[in-house]
Structure 1
């Protein structure tokens, strides 16, 4: 009733009633009404064409306003009004401004990176301008090709915690995985370790009871919900916390696609075998994940002691090669950081860009970047699910296949099951592992995070894992696209116009 869908349905009903009343009681003024509506539509079209909205989203709004002017304008005004998240935006901007210099960039590190690769140094400069996201060296990175690999190491690292444990996840679901973790968290909390857990409010729909934070607090665990569901219409609900971060004592951090639920470690089968990935960081770069967690914890109107936790030693790993940049993407600013990092990798690539993503719902810019890289002779491969978790996103992904294949992009589908990994690896020298999908929600509407890697030893392992996974996939051909089920084709084409708003 109070969801975004509920609001849309209510506005549609209001418009139908208004139009019925207009035609019934003001029949004699119909020519004037139609003329006024047409003029109003023209004004809105001109306004949209000159706005800063993403070009693909402009098309969606133009269609909506031209087809149903009253309803379309009402919905547009609502979504652009910032109702419900103005305070959130102001709070986030204040936090970023206050913490921008919390982890200073080493000038020596930036100079060395510039000498090694000017393109990567320029990307690092861009990432830094959106917040406190320095480039680091002396950070060891371990790659996990499956969720169960991450889980095993996670338990070992949690057992070693002495000072604090910070966990921020999109999904927390009761089961074997969360049960094992929770037992350690409760034990550590009783021993005096500062244990904090934050999860997204969407968990309340089907996974966790509303009073779950109280239950954790009884165990000594501090807990917060990001954007919990309340009976008030708000654009706030369009922005979800999709990040997955674990920080232990300021010297160890985990990041990647793996949530805290049994399907992510293949203890429960939902869509065949679940392919996911993650990384563990040890060393200087962990400070950025500590800061990212504290920023999100503090966004909920609570003063936080950043310096106290950032002061814990990170134990630099002197032998570790390469550079690491943990970064977060915030939907409340003007920087589409997640998308632009991906596009920069595509534009600088020389030999290959290999990608794993659960979804493929692209705007024009990202689709053009993928196609242009392939047309330049770069080996662009997309590894997508063979068994989808949701029908509509699966149908939307199919709408991009023909155009990408025509430009030389190779598309593979993972036949054993579902790919939830979010990985970019390019030219055996740089990679991204994180939470950022190739879809509108991740690129425009979610709080996200990722780890950028350059010259790090484990990049070789990422590429080997991609090639091993490729052996379990089917290559998509143009003939397969033409023979796709009509229900998939029709759904994708019908929903595509509304995709930027989903």
Structure 2
């Protein structure tokens, strides 16, 4: 009996080895990690791969979603492309980012929109107070998409506000990620459903679809009446209000946008909603306003990426920003696990005399990922970059280049966000807003300590060993 079981395991391992070789042919390092895991830990490796590694089995699933996105994306892009001609810009500084805007338009189908008002929300209390006020003022629809929605004081308060609006006749649609909300009971959403609201879980994880665990919807989007949009790093949970003492203060960044860019956020939400609900929603003027309020002056592109895309659009945007920098690159990220292209881009920028500053959390939430993060931080220190450790947990995802333009959204500076998660970022081409956020960045530096190369090199032999071992698994973290 034991021989039969052993043979079955070996056959299964060989089968999955073939799947890995074909499925990960564009990522040889990831393929090597999976093969080593199956070789040295056959049973454990088999189970882990079933949950987190399968790619070919999802090919058709994501192909269908990609076709939906492309079909509707072309309609949306055609509706918005008339808003601006990239060739008409006469500002000298626009040359710094014209290539980025073209790439995002042509490759990511991200129209550039003008005259947007942008508000930076860097404290959870401020963000959710403003969001609840905007929800109370909604008259037509509220569309909400979050990775994590906890059944705590904040989650219940937000759900109560949405339920009240649904009872008033306002359309309320909610998407939550099934993995991110695995501990959130369905009872939390029942009152909203009873009031006529709609709630769907993105890629539910079941025994038939255990491979869904590897592909998570990390997006955080709220659109209210087509006029107001939210995007950024904050999920729904009291920790974003600073209620986790061991990680306090908790620092994150969210954007409140008023203007034509809200239609791009709404389009992203609707494409995700149609995919999870299979409900045909008309992509017309009711949701995608052509006469959105123009209260500001910021040009914005909303760029999405995910495992359903043939290209890593947000990562490519980051890489283009890094390669275009002349003076400075300021980055905030909770996890620093870049792929080779981004790592080399940052090192080349530092070698070229660009002032590269990267801010990381001083109080991590994931020990293994933080160990890998410090490994990459050390390599960048050796290249001349500067690393700052925030005195608390930093969850903000931001990159500012040359004090001219910036990107803020849901994507971390890690391979999971680049390749496996569904993400969305705002690229903002506004020197005034870049300077405003840089001021926030330097205020955060005042609450951080700089990690020197000497301090990094003085770490223990055990830390060096742990970094080396954990970094082997960076492509699958």
Alignment of 1:419 with 2:408, yes or no, is: no
Structure 1 residue 317 displacement after superposition: 1.7
- Does 2:337 align with 1:364? no
Paired residues for 1:327-406 under 5 Å: 327-406=303-382
Match of 2:205 among 226, 229, 234: 229
Q: Contact 1:412–1:476 at 8 Å: present in 2 too? A: yes
The reply on whether 1:161 has 2:138 as its aligned counterpart is yes
- Unaligned ranges ≥5, structure 1: 1-12, 23-36
**Residues 45-444 of structure 1: matches in 2 within 5 Å?**
52-61=25-34, 63=36, 79=53, 82-84=56-58, 86-102=60-76, 103-106=79-82, 108-113=84-89, 116=92, 117-206=94-183, 208-300=184-276, 301-312=278-289, 314-317=291-294, 320-415=296-391, 417-444=392-419
- Is the Cα–Cα contact under 8 Å of residues 96 and 131 in structure 1 kept in the other structure? no
CA distance in 2, matches of 1:432, 1:323: 12
The answer to whether the Cα contact below 8 Å between 1:83 and 1:234 also exists between their aligned partners in 2 is: no
| Alpha-carbon distance between aligned partners in 1 of 2:442 and 2:26, rounded to the nearest angstrom | 38
Structure 1 residues 476 and 487, CA gap change in structure 2 (3 angstroms): same
Question: Aligned pair in 2 of structure 1 residues 294, 376: CA closer, same or farther (>3 Å)?
Answer: same
How has the CA–CA distance of structure 1 residues 432 and 352 changed in structure 2, closer, same or farther, with 3 Å as cutoff? same
**CA pair 151-404 structure 1, distance change in 2 beyond 3 A:** same
DSSP-derived class of the 1:335 partner: coil
Equivalents in 1 of 2:211, 2:377: separation in Å?
32
DSSP-derived class of the 1:458 partner: helix
* 1:241 partner SS: coil
User: What is the SS of the residue equivalent to 2:331?
Assistant: strand
Q: Deviations over 1:127-150 (max 9, x none)?
A: 223444200111111111222221
Contact 2:332 2:359 (8 Å CA) reproduced: yes
Residue 264 of structure 1: CA displacement?
Answer: 0.7
Change (3 A) 1:67 1:228: closer
Matched, 1:467 2:412: no
Deviation at residue 484 of structure 1 after TM alignment: 2.6
Following superposition, the deviation at residue 21 of structure 1 comes to 9.4
- In the alignment, which residue of structure 2 is the partner of 1:8? none
Aligned partner of residue 64 in structure 2, secondary structure: helix
Q: Cα 1:80–1:298, aligned 2, differ >3 Å: closer, same or farther?
A: same
Deviations 1:414-465 (A, max 9, x none): 12x1000001011111001100001121111000011100125322221011
Give, in angstroms, the shift of residue 85 of structure 1.
Answer: 5.3
SS at match of 2:373: helix
Return closer, same or farther for 1:75/1:177 CA change in 2, 3 Å cut-off. closer
Q: 1:490 to 1:219 in 2, by over 3 A?
A: farther
Contact 1:83 1:236 (C-alpha < 8 Å) held by counterparts: no
Aligned residue number for residue 6 of structure 2: 17
Kindly tell me: are residues 203 and 49 of structure 1, through their superposed partners in 2, closer, same or farther at Cα, counting changes over 3 Å?
closer
Q: Distance in 1 between matches of 2:207 and 2:248?
A: 36
Pair 1:85–1:236, CA change in 2 (3 A): farther
Q: TM-score, normalised by structure 2?
A: 0.89
- Structure 2 segments unaligned to the other structure (5+ residues): none
Q: CA deviation at 1:356?
A: 0.4
Q: Distance in 1 between matches of 2:217 and 2:173?
A: 16
CA contact (8 A) 2:230 2:256 kept: yes
Can you list the C-alpha shifts for 1:365-423, whole angstroms capped at 9, x where unaligned?
111111111111111001000001011011111111322111101001012x1000001
Secondary structure of the equivalent of 1:156? helix
Q: What's the offset of the Cα at 1:306?
A: 1.5
Q: Cα 1:165–1:49, aligned 2, differ >3 Å: closer, same or farther?
A: closer
Deviation at 1:66, TM superposition (A): 7.5
Q: Describe the SS at the equivalent of 2:99.
A: helix
Distance 1:337 1:403 in 2: 25
The number of residues matched between the two structures is: 469
Cα distance, 1:83–1:458 mapped onto 2, change above 3 Å: same
CA distance in structure 2 between the partners assigned to 1:160 and 1:212 by the alignment? 23
Q: CA shift at 1:112, angstroms?
A: 2.8
In structure 2, distance between residues paired with 1:163 and 1:456: 34
RMSD across aligned positions (CA): 3.2
Q: Judging changes above 3 Å, is the alpha-carbon distance between structure 1 residues 151 and 486 closer, same or farther for their aligned structure 2 residues?
A: farther
Normalising by structure 1, we get a TM-score of 0.85
